[in-house]
Each structure stands twice: as C-alpha cells, then as structure tokens.
Amino acid sequence: MIETLLIKLLLAGLVFFGVLNLAGLHTWVERKQSALIQDRIGANRAAIFGWRLLGIFHLLADGLKMFTKEDFRPAGADKYLHTLAPFISLFFALAAFATVPFGDELFLAGRAINLQVVNLNAGLLYVFAMLSMGVYGVILAGYASRNNYAILGGLRAAAQMLSYEIALGISILGVLMVFQTVDLQMLVRSQGRALAGWIPFWGIVAQPVSFLIFLTAALAETKRVPFDLPEGESEIIGYFIEYSGMKFGMFFLTDFIETIMVACLAVTLFFGGWQVPYLQTDGFHFPWGGFYGVSNLTYALLGIASFAAKVISFCWLFMTIRWTLPRFRYDQLMRLGWRYLFPLSIVNILVTGLMLI
C-alpha cells in the first residue's frame, strides 16, 4: 500500500513538474515564435553572467517580477473570493492531468507501473469535469473585483466557455462510439491496430470531422487568439483587470496549462496518445513482415517520447494559430459555436451511428 502511494506521488510529481515547466517555457516560445513570424528579434535582454541564451532567462525575470510585485486589491472587493478565484482556475487546470496516460505499463522490480497518475474507468469524464470547473474561477474573479468592467469580462468569458463546452463534449462522442470506452488508457490502446496493415487506426482516421470540431472548440475553451474575447487587452476589459502580482500570474499560467491540456487531449483522442506506429509490447512489427524486438524499458521510453513529441507539436501549432489569425467579434464567436459547430457535431454523431450500424 505504501509502495503504491509512493509510486502515485512520484508519477504526480513528474506530470505536474513537466506541465508547469512546459507552461513556463510557453511564455518564452510565445515571444520568440511571434518574433520569427513578424521578422524581428524578440525578447533577448535578460542575462545571467553575460549569457542570454536567446532570451530564455526572461522566464526567471517574469517569475521574480510576479512574486515581488505588489498584490493590489481594490477597495470594496471581496477579500476571500478575490484571492480564491485564481487558485480555483489553476487548481482545476492542473488536476485535469491526473487521468491522462503518457505511456503504457512499465515493469520494474517485478511490479507493473501504469504510466498514468490515476487510472479511472471514466477518465475522460473526469477531465471534462475538471475543465468545466475552471469557469467558476473566471466568473468569481470578475464578481469579486467589484468592477463593472471586470464583471462584464467574467460574464463574457463564462458565456464563451459554456457555449463551446457543448460542442466540445458532443464532438468526442463519435470517438467514444468507435472505440467503445471512456477510459483514456484503454482508448489509447484501442488505437494500436492498423488498417490494412499499414495505416494506424488513430482517432483522426476514424473521426476526421470530429477532430476539426474538437480542435476549434478546444481553442475557444482556452480563451486564446483568435478566441481571446474574455481578455483582449487592446480594446476589451478582461475579467482579471483588478489583479496584479502572482494572482495575475496564476491566471496567465492557467491559459498556457489549458493549452497543454488541450494538446494532450487531442493527442490522446485523435493521434494515438503514446502509441508509436507498428510498435507493440514486444517490439516493432512492420507491415512487410519485419520484426525488431525491444525491451519493456525501451518500449515505455519510446511511448513517453512519442507522447511528448506529439504534445509539443500541437503546442507549436496552437502558437502558430495564435500569431496568424485575427480576433473574432463576439457575435462571430457565438455564431460559430451555436450555428456551425454544434449542428455539425450532431450530424457527425448521426453519420457515425449509421456507419456503425
């Protein structure tokens, strides 16, 4: 019992350490990738002992600034809720990673270790439950600030997140109908077979329309450009206008963590998760009949590397979209969710059902 608990704590530490560091790295990637797209240098002033390393030390500078900046709270604001709101957003964004599998079973000292913090038979439902709870942090941030503009920003954000959660949830039903499980680990293992011996039967192959709906709705759920209506700094007052210091930093970090979560879900549902094409537990089984055996440790490490590479690729794609497309108007945002994505997701379920029958 104690050994199992220690293993789970170690897995949780590895997952959250990786997620938080990748989220911090996102702040640097956002600056440098936007600089490359806009043909400029980007952030490069922060240095340690004269070393700049392409501006990577701006991560430390941002952290120091946010931890040392004055924690301002407006007069009349609700002290308890104003402090609680950023913690709610960050906590539930991190908690959602508990059921995401980042590898298959690893055998060490005669013990099978499932590379997943918590193995739930309803893991996908848990992820969506955690992500939906983040709405409370957003709406409480606007309400507790006692600022009319912040309240409007919170309402705007809550309406957007709730609207796109519907299309997001319905879009994955087609995947669940094909693979017949809401257990994320089992769903990834179900994508291990190949069509005609050559094409990996990943979710993108089974449900391409569902993937496009999911990707669009998930981007809107993370409140990133072109769906950043809740926090558009240039012309719209956001829900965290009355936050400063590390409380603002927590909201800022939550957006990046949610982006990573969306990338993990896209990989898990539609791109085989930790699956490597033609790799099974005993080694590579190639379509032309070739075989190359690998140890269990190599098999597990290849799965982890595959999952990490796919997630980073999606993060890069999201960042490219973020610096390529302009922001929607709010009426366009709602029209896209309710008049296009929602009906299309319903049609996709009906077509999937007919094909399965």
pLDDT for 347 beyond 90: yes
Q: Is residue 52 part of a domain?
A: no
Q: Is residue 146 part of a domain?
A: yes
Q: What is the pLDDT of residue 282?
A: 87
Indicate the average pLDDT of the chain.
90
CA-CA-CA-CA dihedral for 319, 241, 230, 331, to nearest 10 = -130
- % of the chain beyond a pLDDT of 90: 53
Q: What is the pLDDT of residue 329?
A: 86
Q: What share of the chain is helix, strand, coil (3-state, %, to 5)?
A: 65, 5, 30
Q: How far apart are CA 92 and CA 134, in angstroms?
A: 6
Neighbours of 124 (CB within 10 A): 22
| Among 172, 267, 251, 260, residue whose Cα is nearest residue 210 | 172
| pLDDT single digits (tens) 92-107 | 999 999 999 999 988 8
pLDDT tier at 268, thresholds 50, 70, 90? very high
- Number of H helices and E strands in the chain, helices first, is 13, 7
Q: How far apart are CA 343 and CA 227, in angstroms?
A: 20
Q: Is residue 11 part of a domain?
A: no
- % of the chain beyond a pLDDT of 70: 99
Q: How far apart are CA 218 and CA 160, in angstroms?
A: 11
| pLDDT single digits (tens) 212-237 | 999 999 999 888 888 888 776 666 67
- Collapse the DSSP code of 48 into the 3-class scheme (helix H, G, I; strand E, B; otherwise coil) and give the result: strand
pLDDT tier at 335, thresholds 50, 70, 90? very high
Q: What is the pLDDT of residue 235?
A: 65
Question: What is the distance of C-alpha 292 from the center of its chain?
Answer: 34
Residue 293 CB partners (closer than 8 Å, separation 6+): 282, 283
Q: Is residue 283 part of a domain?
A: yes
213 lies in which domain range? 75-356
Number of domains in the chain: 1
Residue 154 · residue 82 · CB < 8 Å: no
The mean pLDDT value for 325-337 works out to 89
Q: What is the pLDDT of residue 234?
A: 63
| pLDDT single digits (tens) 159-205 | 998 899 999 999 999 999 999 999 999 999 999 888 877 889 999 99
* Runs of H (alpha helix) within the chain: 2-37, 58-68, 79-95, 123-144, 148-171, 173-179, 184-190, 203-206, 208-221, 245-270, 296-322, 330-335, 342-356
Q: How far apart are CA 59 and CA 55, in angstroms?
A: 8
Residue 329 · residue 150 · CB < 8 Å: no
Q: What is the pLDDT of residue 130?
A: 92
Q: What is the pLDDT of residue 259?
A: 93
pLDDT for 63 beyond 90: no
Higher pLDDT, 288 or 89: 89
Q: What is the pLDDT of residue 7?
A: 87
Q: How far apart are CA 159 and CA 153, in angstroms?
A: 10
Q: Is residue 189 part of a domain?
A: yes
Q: How far apart are CA 84 and CA 62, in angstroms?
A: 22
Q: Is residue 210 part of a domain?
A: yes
Q: How far apart are CA 168 and CA 78, in angstroms?
A: 33
Q: What is the pLDDT of residue 338?
A: 93
Q: What is the pLDDT of residue 233?
A: 63
